[in-house]
Structure 1
Amino acid sequence: MNQVHVESEFAPLRSVVLARSEVSAPESAASNPDLEFLPASARAKMFTGDLRVADPARQAAWEAERQAFAEVLQRNSIRVLTPRLLTDAEKETAGDDGYSNFFARDPFFTIGDHVIEGSLRFRHRRGEIWPMREIFDAEVYPSPARYVAVPPAEAARADDPSLGPGPFLEGGDVLVLDKHVFVGSSGLASNDLGYRWLRKYLAPFGYTVELVRLHENILHLDCALGLVRHGLMVVCPEAFLDGIPDRLQGWDRVEVTMPEAGLLATNGLPLSSDVYVTDPEFSAIGSQLENRGVTVEYVDFSITRSFGGSFRCSTQPLHRAP
C-alpha cells in the first residue's frame, strides 16, 4: 500500500504530485488588481485564452521546464504522480473566468495523515481540484489517511473585489513543521475563516495552527518563507506584518528582499534535509545553502515563475517521512 503522510516541509520526499502545464486567462486578467503581486516582467507577458493557442512556443518551453524538474525528482528516487488534463466539460464550466491546472500545491494539501481539499479564492483556479481526484482514488482512498474538504466558498457578487467571505484556504499558505502548522494570509488567498476552519479540524489530532499575516503583495506564505531543514530557512523578513513567527526565532536565515520574494526566491523545494532544488536565478541563495552543507540542484524555472509559482507551488507531497 502506498503511504500517505507528511511530517514536515523537509522530511525525505517519497511521493509527490507534479502539476501539469495548462492555463487559460480571461480577458480581464491584464487589468485584474489581484494579479499585481506578479512582477512587472510577468504582467508584460499577460495573454488571453489558452496558452497552447496564444503562445505555443512558450507552452512548449513551460512543459520542458516541468519535465526537467520531474527528471531531478526521479533521479532522487522520488515517485512522481501526474494529474490528468482538464476535460472539455470542465473547461466549458469555467466559462469567462478562465481555467487552470498548473500548480498542484494549492487545490489540496497534506498534513500528517490528513489529505485536505482546499478552497481557492481566484475564480479561474476553483476547478483545479478536479484533475487531482483520480490520484486520490488511486492513492488516498486505499490508504489509512483521512480525506476531507474545506467548505466551498460562498458565492460573491461579480463586482465584489474581495470575492466573498470564503472560507479560502490554499496549500501555498500551509507550511507543516511536525505538529505545528503555519497558515499565511495576505488578502490574496487564504483568509481568517479558512485558518479558523483548519485550526478547528486539526485541534483534536494534537496540532497547533498559527495564522501568519503577510504583506499585501505576497500571494502565499511559501512566497515569503521556505523551511530548508530544522533550524535553517530562506525568508523575506519584510513580508511578515507581525515579524517572523516565534516558533522560528533562533533559526539560521538566508534572507531575501521583497523584490527577490516577488521572483519566488523562497519557493525552492527541499527533497530532504540535505538536498534542495531552486532556479539558477537564485544561485546566490544556493551558494549560501551549500556553505551550510546542503546539496543544491538547479532547474531553470523562469516560465513557471512568470505565472506566479515555482518549485513548491508546482508540487504537493503525499509522502514525506523518514
Structure 2
Amino acid sequence: MLQLNVKNETSRLRAVILGTAINNGPTPKIEEAYDPKSLEHIKAGTYPVEADMVKEMEAFNQVFQKYDVQVYRPEIIENYNQIFSRDIGFVIDDIFIKANILPDRERELEAIQYVIDQIDPNKVVRPPDNVHIEGGDVMPWNDYIFIGTYKGSDYKDYITARTNMDGVNFIKELFPNKIVKEFDLVKSKIEPRDNALHLDCCFQPVGTNKGIIYKSGFREEADYMFLVNLFGKENLFHIEREEMYHMNSNVFSIAPDVVVSEKNFTRLNTWLREQGFTVEEIPYAEIAKQEGLLRCSTLPLIRD
C-alpha cells in the first residue's frame, strides 16, 4: 500500500506521478485549445512537437532519479495529451482527491488507476459533479490550504476558470482542521499574459518561508496582501507580466532546499541561488507553450 503524505509544497519528495508526452497526438485544432497560450502557438505554427516534449520530460525524470524519488508514469493512451498530471488529482495529508476535470480528460484518470489501486480505498475521494477543482489551484501549506478560484458570475463562460467556489467549500468540509484560503484569479480566454489558469501560475511557495508571486494575477489586492503578510514581502520574489507568461512561478520543489526550474528563468534562478537553494535547471520551454510547466506535470504522493 502507498502511505500518502503531502502536507506542503516543499518537504522532501519520495514518490510522485510524472506525466508523459509519449504518443501525445497531433497538434490540436484551433477550436480544441483549452487555454489561450496553446491557442497562440497553434495559430503561429509553433505548437510543440512530441519528440521535444518527450526529451524535456525525460530531463525532469532524470532529476527525480538523481534524488532517489519513486516515479510513476501514466499508462499510455494513444494520441492523447497526458503531460499535466497535476490537473487530474492531488493529495492533501493522506487523502487522494480525484479532480472533476473537463469531461474529455476523464481517460487521464484511468491511466493512473494502477497507482490509485495501491492506495487505501477509504483515502480516495471523488467530489460530487457540481464541484470543479484542479490540482494546479490547490496548495497545501502546513496549517493552510491555498486554493485558486474564479468568482465572476460568468464562470461558466470561461474554459480557463477551472475551480469554482463549490470546490473551495468541498475542501473546507473535507479538512475542517485546516485554514482554507481562496484566491480570486484573473482569467482571460484570449490573452495568455493576463490569464492565471491556476493558482500556481501566479504564486508558489519555495523553501520553508519564501515564495514566487505575480501581483497582477489576483483580482483582489487583499488576496495578494494576505500572502505578503503571511510570508513577508522580503521573502517573496515578484515576477513580471512576461515572466508570468513564461510560467516562472511554476517550478517544482524536491526538498526545502532543492528547486527544479526552467533553464531560461535567469532572474528567478539567480534569486533562488542567492537564497541558498540548489537549482536543478532543465529545458522545459516547449511544454510551457501549453500553459503548463514543472508543477503542472507532477502529482506528488509522498513527502517526508
Shorter-chain TM-score range: 0.7 to 0.9
Which residue in the other structure is 2:178 paired with?
207
In the alignment, does 2:91 pair up with 1:104?
no
* Number of matched pairs: 282
Give the TM-score of the pair, scaled to structure 1. Answer: 0.81
Q: Distance in 2 between matches of 1:222 and 1:126?
A: 22
Structure 1 residues 83-121: Cα deviation after superposition (integer angstroms, max 9, x where no partner): 11126xxx8xxxxxxx5322111100000111100111x
Q: Distance in 1 between matches of 2:57 and 2:166?
A: 33
Select which of 190, 206, 213 maps to 1:228: 206
Structure 1 residues 149-187: Cα deviation after superposition (integer angstroms, max 9, x where no partner): 1223xxxxxxxxxxxxx4210000001101210110145
Paired-residue identity, %: 25
Q: Give the AA of the match of 1:227.
A: P
Q: 1:3 to 1:168 in 2, by over 3 A?
A: same
Which residue in the other structure is 2:120 paired with?
141
Displacement over 6 Å in runs of 4+: none
Select which of 208, 233, 255 maps to 1:272: 255
Q: Distance in 2 between matches of 1:70 and 1:18?
A: 8
Alignment of 1:1-322 (within 5 A): 2-21=2-21, 22-24=23-25, 29-31=29-31, 35-38=35-38, 40-41=40-41, 43-45=43-45, 58-86=49-77, 99-120=80-101, 122-138=102-118, 140-141=119-120, 146-152=123-129, 166-186=130-150, 187=155, 188-203=161-176, 206-216=177-187, 217-243=195-221, 244=224, 246=226, 248-249=228-229, 250=232, 252-321=235-304
Q: CA deviation at 1:3?
A: 2.7
Tell me the secondary structure at the aligned position of residue 8 of structure 2: coil
Q: 1:3 to 1:245 in 2, by over 3 A?
A: farther
Q: Distance in 1 between matches of 2:24 and 2:35?
A: 15
Q: CA deviation at 1:45?
A: 3.5
Which residue in the other structure is 1:157 paired with?
none
For the 8 Å contact 1:235–1:253, the answer to whether it is kept is yes
Q: Distance in 2 between matches of 1:291 and 1:39?
A: 36
Q: 1:34 to 1:102 in 2, by over 3 A?
A: closer
Q: CA deviation at 1:199?
A: 1.4
Tell me the secondary structure at the aligned position of residue 318 of structure 1: strand
Q: 1:33 to 1:78 in 2, by over 3 A?
A: closer
Tell me the secondary structure at the aligned position of residue 62 of structure 2: helix
Unpaired segments of 5 or more residues in structure 1? Answer: 48-54, 92-98, 153-165
Give the TM-score of the pair, scaled to structure 2. Answer: 0.85
For the 8 Å contact 1:275–1:296, the answer to whether it is kept is yes
Q: Give the AA of the match of 2:92.
A: I
Q: 1:124 to 1:40 in 2, by over 3 A?
A: same
Q: CA deviation at 1:7?
A: 1.4
Which residue in the other structure is 2:190 paired with?
none
For the 8 Å contact 1:18–1:316, the answer to whether it is kept is yes
Q: Distance in 2 between matches of 1:86 and 1:65?
A: 19
